[in-house]
Structure 1
Amino acid sequence: MVGALVLTGCAGQPQLPGTPPPLVMVPDTIAAHELAALPESTTFGDLAAAPSDPAPQSETTGVVVRVKQDLAVYDAPHGRAFARLPATQLANPTWVPAIAEREGWAQVLLPSRPNGSTGWVWLGGPERTEKARSPYVVDVDVDKRRLVLRENGVETASWDVSVGAPASPTPRGRTFIMAAIEETVTRYSPIILPLGTHSETFSTYGGGPGTVALHGWPDASVFGQDRSDGCVRVPPDALRTLTSLPLGTLVLLR
């Protein structure tokens, strides 16, 4: 990592002739070639160095961060860079939940393996990131096969859903809606909502990276059952509602 120094003068303090202005260290400055060399944090990535989620069953404040340019991801504020978080995920803008904030830094959930991966990013100015708040939480009780949607802590809807079969269980923990994809290859769901978590049984689904998703299913008899390969299958009205939620919205799989 290469640190960069910004030259600036102190307001109200004239500089003596020939005296260089004081030096201010930029919290996150990494050379372009170093940033490009870092492994990408996408659903295809595997980041063994990523810190684990310290509270995988807890809700957040709802703060979500839009990544507007490729950012270095650190193991701690001012720590070691271990990954690069790109500005898009599966052709969707990158929005990730913040689980902690500290002096201009945010610890965010990452979409890569292993499940529960997190990292710290320097928020910086509006050219780097944008902060917003999603009032929603998608709460999936895997054992009860029930999905509850809450807005500002109040339940607004709930549905029976299908979760992973005993041989291919739905992974537990907190994750997020990473993208919304119009399905063009198969017809079992018009829209698929990939999450930032993966099957712990399969390394791939049909050639993909084993990304767990919320999606529809044409056979209503599966709802309330443990019949999937790890994804959460939802009824049509649930899919329509979930598709309207902001990217980065927290999803609790518990």
Structure 2
Amino acid sequence: MGDAETDGPAAVEPDSIAPSKRRPNVWVVLALAAALLAGALTVAWLVRPPATEASAAPTPTVTATPTRTATPAPTPTPTGFAANTASYDVSTLPQISVFAIIPALPVDDAAFTAPLPTHAVAKGIGAPVWADPTAEPVAYLPHEYPYDGTSVPVVEEQENWVKVLLTGRQAVPSQGNPAQTAGWMRKTDIDLAPTDTSVVVSISGRTIDIVRAGVPERIASDFAWGTDRTPTPLGRAFIMTTRVVPEYAYTRGHPIVYLSVQSPTLDGFGGADVAVTAFHYHDDRSGPISNGCLRVDPDAITKLSELPLGTPVIVNP
């Protein structure tokens, strides 16, 4: 590259002037000067020390992320009573119904606890019921029954079992505890369905509310309940059946909403072997004047009669 720059500018054109008349050519002198200057610059460039490169940006230090080993999800521990896969002939067991007295059935042990928002119905012709899931079944709940009581609220749920409220009694009042009965059923024997409605009664507050999805609707602010001799059963129960009974003239043709629980003092009533508590219409419907039933006005009994069977009812003092 240096030779080319020197030869180019320093080259002269062929002689065209006689020697005797030759003068210094100013253009030649300038060309020579330019050539010398270019050469000097070239030499200076060649001998100049190379420029110091800018300091390279430091390479960032990468900190290794610790390797995490995924922890496997723990296997769920079975809760509650162990599964029971035995087969049972339910026709050999006592049938649970409003008329049944089954001493082996336990009475409800948590009377004022709200049931779960679930109800159960037996599969097939019916399903066995246990007083103790570690023992043998003591009765069976039919899938259908003329007086209903077969759609039952769940009060406790486990992995393999549910505890439900039942119709019938452990004993009549004169011979034992007639309170609300309960029992255990296998989940494989039943169909479960959600329910979001309940009825809450306050005798001291003289109120009846229908509660849907946690929202109460006041349907009565006065009503009649049982006397001291024939008190209204307290605690939780459920709607067993709803029907119109024309023979009971005091209902004025309004439906009767029967509950699963019976009188704590009467073995029977009106010539029947049962003393079932119910909501019903009556002209006299204020204060402690009934045989245990809850007497309400036409609007209240209409709304109560529209509720599905198995709806929980809690009667508070």
Q: When the two structures are superposed, what TM-score results if normalisation uses the length of structure 1?
A: 0.80
Query: What residue in structure 2 maps to residue 147 of structure 1?
Result: 208
Say what the alpha-carbon RMSD is for the aligned residues.
Answer: 1.9
Q: Does 1:27 align with 2:27?
A: no
CA contact (8 A) 1:97 1:109 kept: yes
Structure 1: gaps (5+ residues)? 1-24
AA aligned opposite 1:27: T
The structure with more helix, counted as a fraction of residues: 2
- Aligned partner of 1:45 in structure 2 is 100
Paired residues, number: 221
In 1: Cα distance, 2:241 partner to 2:145 partner: 7
- Structure 2 length-normalised TM: 0.65
Question: Which whole-Å CA distance do the structure 1 matches of 2:130 and 2:184 have between them?
Answer: 5
> Is residue 64–residue 96 contact of structure 1 (8 Å, CA) maintained in 2?
yes
Provide the rounded CA distance (Å) in 2 between the counterparts of 1:84 and 1:237.
37
Contact 2:98 2:149 in 1 (8 A): no
Larger radius of gyration: 2
Identity among equivalent positions (%) equals: 30
The C-alpha deviation readout for 1:164-203, integer Å capped at 9, x for no partner, is 0122110111000011112132222221111110001211
Establish whether residue 64 from structure 1 lines up as the match of residue 119 from structure 2: yes
Residue 78 (structure 1) shift: 4.4
Structure 2 matches for 1:55-94, cutoff 5 A?
55-68=110-123, 69-92=125-148, 94=150
| Aligned-residue offset at 1:140 | 1.2
Shift, 1:205, TM fit: 1.7
Q: In structure 1, what is the equivalent of residue 313 of structure 2?
A: 251
Q: Which amino acid aligns with 1:139?
A: V
Is residue 201 from structure 1 mapped to residue 265 from structure 2 by the alignment? yes
Query: Which whole-Å CA distance do the structure 1 matches of 2:264 and 2:270 have between them?
Result: 15
Instruction: Specify the SS of the correspondent of 1:121.
Output: strand
Q: Give unpaired runs (5+ residues) of structure 2.
A: 1-82, 170-177
Q: Corresponding residue for 1:216? A: 281
Distance in 1, Cα, partners of 2:164 & 2:209: 23
Verify: 1:178 aligned to 2:244, yes or no: no
> What SS is found at the alignment partner of 1:92?
coil
Of Structure 1 and Structure 2, the greater strand share is in 1
Q: Distance in 2 between matches of 1:210 and 1:171?
A: 11
1:107/1:231 CA distance change after superposition, 3 Å: same
Specify whether residues 214 and 90 from structure 1 end up closer, same or farther in structure 2 by C-alpha distance, changes over 3 A only.
farther
Please, which of 187, 193, 210 is the counterpart of residue 249 of structure 2? 187
